[in-house]
Amino acid sequence: MGAVLDATGLHAAGLTKRYGGITALQDVSLKLVPGEVHALLGANGAGKSTLVKILAGIIQPDEGTLELNREPIRLGSPQAAYRARIATVHQELSLFPGLTVAQNVLIGRETRDRIGWIREAASIDTARALLEQLDVQDIAPTAMVSDLSLAQQQLVEIAKAMLFDPLVLILDEPTSALGRSDVEHLLGVVRKLRGRGCAIVFISHRMDEITSIADQVTVLRNGRKVGEMSRATFNPAKALELMLGDTPRHLQRLKAPASPDLQPPLLDVRDLTVPGRLAGLSLEVRPGEVVGLAGLEGQGQKEALFALFGLFRRGLSGSVKVRGKPARATRPRQAIASAFALIPDDRKAMGGFVGLGVGRNISITVLDRLRSLGVISPGRERSLVAGLVERLRIKCASPAVPLGSLSGGNQQKVVAAKWLAHGADVYLFCDPTRGVDAGAREILYETIHSLAAEGRSILIYSTDMNEFAILCSRVLVFRGGHVSGSLVGAEITEENILGLSFHEAAHAA
């Protein structure tokens, strides 16, 4: 790494940003010190994204100043931020699936020969060096991004940011899509960068990560700075209280749904197989039962949900029945017809249409039901949308605003609302609270519990192992594409899940 920030670091003073009559950020000041990790905490919509966009040069503040190494700076564009060696890794991935890792890392900054041709070998060498700097051994620079897992793509995004040898590195929820081993790896990389004098902004909703990595913590609520704590004074319960304005109910352990009465299974899966991904999955889920698919990241849990929703066409085998009727699907349309609904982890690519209005994103699955004489009834659509916006407490200026303008938590609630509008017998939740704040998380928990109370069958995969104890009456632990064991009731703990993740079960699944 080259020159580092001097003792003053990057200072932001009195930053304010307005959008019409809405103040997204008001009089926020921040000091980023060399060799420190500064965590930002706040519910979705608290102003974190607005602050990050200002520091990244994506938007400009209406009021306030920035100083870098005691010199005033104006970040009028992302390019200006990069020139100042301020690099940002955004929560939503920006990679091109059809390009290789090396092409993505060096896009627009490739080494060229005298006549302008890209020197592919040099690009591959540079990408490999950046990945090695992050201690990433399992991603080849020549690999297609479309072949990488979400966790691997996140690491490629960070390698791309490291190309600028940043003085300030902003990590916007970098661990939200990562499993435990990948999280520990990433936190180790962050510690190395901190030790080399980099000032790091770290955004996460996981309190254990904040406790582990942060030297300073700033808490935002409704666009204002409401608290600041050092490593020595940081208290997770106090931080959540500051975030929400009162004691968060979701900290109180929700009673996991009791196992339903022994009645015929609503969902019956036998020997479901996806070659190389899922090996002979068999399970039963009864009405009103919430079953967790747990284990380390990448062990076949997501593939099980995706297979049930018809996202694997080749090599799929096995039997799937819903209410006793055949329901194995090779296309999502078939799965939906069999009363499946999928709430995916990648809401941007799979969950909704970011350029479409919130209302139409909610109603899109039921437009045929809203037609009268072939024309969609605006009144019926407004009534449907209004009811679900109220039920899930979706925060938006109006249902007409684009989905992409909402915070991550509110986008996820819109995706859930879409499937609540449609209705289903079997709900598949794939890491539904990834990148979601405490308030939105509580609402999603309540939604899952209410669906169970209505007699729906629910399968849920989460990278937050604590959620299984909160939500599930039974958990299947995956390892290497198959179920290594099961846990019920009080057995559902992080310790037991990890134990089954590394060792075969002493009892049958």
DSSP letters, 469-488, are HHH-SEEEEEETTEEEEEEE
Can you tell me the distance from the alpha carbon of 467 to that of 493, in angstroms, rounded to the nearest whole number?
Answer: 10
Can you tell me the distance from the alpha carbon of 56 to that of 60, in angstroms, rounded to the nearest whole number?
Answer: 9
Q: Smallest Cα–Cα separation from 422: which of 374, 362, 347? A: 362
Q: Give me the domains of the chain, ranges plus CATH numbers.
A: 10-245 (3.40.50.300), 250-339+424-502 (3.40.50.300), 354-423 (no CATH)
155 neighbors 135 (Cβ within 8 angstroms):
no
How high is the pLDDT of residue 179? 64
**pLDDT tops 70 at residue 361:** yes
What count of other Cβ atoms lies within 10 Å of the Cβ of residue 277? 18
- φ and ψ at residue 240, rounded to 5 degrees: -65, -35
SS3 396: coil
Q: Specify the DSSP class assigned to residue 404.
A: G
Q: Specify the DSSP class assigned to residue 357.
A: B
**pLDDT tops 90 at residue 486:** yes
320 neighbors 499 (Cβ within 8 angstroms):
no
At position 346, the amino acid (one-letter code) is D
Mean pLDDT, rounded, for 77-91: 91
Can you tell me the distance from the alpha carbon of 415 to that of 174, in angstroms, rounded to the nearest whole number?
Answer: 22
Least confident interval from 43-52, 65-74, 243-252, 479-488: 243-252
**pLDDT tops 50 at residue 249:** no
How high is the pLDDT of residue 367? 85
At position 176, the amino acid (one-letter code) is S
Can you tell me the distance from the alpha carbon of 499 to that of 497, in angstroms, rounded to the nearest whole number?
Answer: 5
Range list of H helices, 356-423: 358-363, 378-391, 408-422
* Sign for the pseudo-dihedral over CA of 180, 185, 190, 192: positive
Mean pLDDT, rounded, for 143-168: 88
228 neighbors 217 (Cβ within 8 angstroms):
yes
**pLDDT tops 90 at residue 128:** yes
**pLDDT tops 50 at residue 255:** no
- Distant-in-sequence, close-in-space partners of 434: CB < 8 Å, separation ≥ 6: 176, 177, 345, 463
SS3 151: helix
Least confident interval from 75-89, 145-159, 276-290, 442-456: 145-159
Distance of CA 35 to the CA centre of its chain: 27
Least confident interval from 136-145, 250-259, 499-508: 250-259
Mean pLDDT, rounded, for 382-392: 91
Confidence grade of residue 246 (pLDDT, cut at 50, 70, 90): low
**pLDDT tops 90 at residue 200:** yes
How high is the pLDDT of residue 258? 53
How high is the pLDDT of residue 247? 41
Largest CA distance in the chain: 74
**pLDDT tops 90 at residue 257:** no
**pLDDT tops 90 at residue 256:** no
Percent of the chain clearing pLDDT 90 (strictly above): 47
Q: Smallest Cα–Cα separation from 407: which of 442, 435, 432? A: 435
**pLDDT tops 80 at residue 501:** no
First vs last C-alpha separation in the chain: 50
**pLDDT tops 90 at residue 237:** no
479 neighbors 501 (Cβ within 8 angstroms):
yes
Least confident interval from 140-149, 248-257, 442-451: 248-257
The pair of three-digit structure tokens given for residue 300, joined into one six-digit string = 């076949």
The pair of three-digit structure tokens given for residue 318, joined into one six-digit string = 């096995």
The strand pair at 267-274 and 317-322 is best described as antiparallel
How high is the pLDDT of residue 496? 86
Least confident interval from 199-203, 206-210, 473-477: 206-210
**pLDDT tops 60 at residue 4:** no
Mean pLDDT, rounded, for 278-304: 91
Distance of CA 479 to the CA centre of its chain: 22
Can you tell me the distance from the alpha carbon of 15 to that of 47, in angstroms, rounded to the nearest whole number?
Answer: 11
- φ and ψ at residue 42, rounded to 5 degrees: 170, 150
Distance of CA 76 to the CA centre of its chain: 29
In 214-368, at which residue ranges do the beta strands (DSSP E only) sit? 216-221, 224-230, 267-274, 278-285, 290-294, 317-322, 325-326, 340-343
**Cα-based angle 209, 236, 439 (whole degrees, multiple of 5):** 90
**pLDDT tops 80 at residue 33:** yes
Mean pLDDT, rounded, for 485-503: 83
**Cα-based angle 445, 370, 334 (whole degrees, multiple of 5):** 65
6 neighbors 70 (Cβ within 8 angstroms):
yes
How high is the pLDDT of residue 22? 79
What count of other Cβ atoms lies within 10 Å of the Cβ of residue 348? 16
Confidence grade of residue 275 (pLDDT, cut at 50, 70, 90): confident
Q: Establish how many alpha carbons lie within 13 A of residue 353's alpha carbon, considering only the half-sphere containing its beta carbon.
A: 14
Burial class of residue 307 in the structure, from the number of CB atoms within 10 Å of its CB (0-12 exposed, 13-18 middle, 19+ buried)? buried
Cα dist from 192 to 36, 37, 58, 188, 219, whole Å: 11, 11, 27, 6, 25
**pLDDT tops 80 at residue 165:** yes
229 neighbors 38 (Cβ within 8 angstroms):
no
Q: What is the mean pLDDT of the chain?
A: 86
How high is the pLDDT of residue 251? 40
Can you tell me the distance from the alpha carbon of 381 to that of 163, in angstroms, rounded to the nearest whole number?
Answer: 48
**Cα-based angle 396, 204, 256 (whole degrees, multiple of 5):** 80
Mean pLDDT, rounded, for 24-43: 93
How high is the pLDDT of residue 503? 54
Reported as a single tens digit per residue, the pLDDT across 168-181 is: 999 998 886 666 77
How high is the pLDDT of residue 252? 42
**pLDDT tops 50 at residue 70:** yes
Confidence grade of residue 65 (pLDDT, cut at 50, 70, 90): very high
Confidence grade of residue 439 (pLDDT, cut at 50, 70, 90): confident
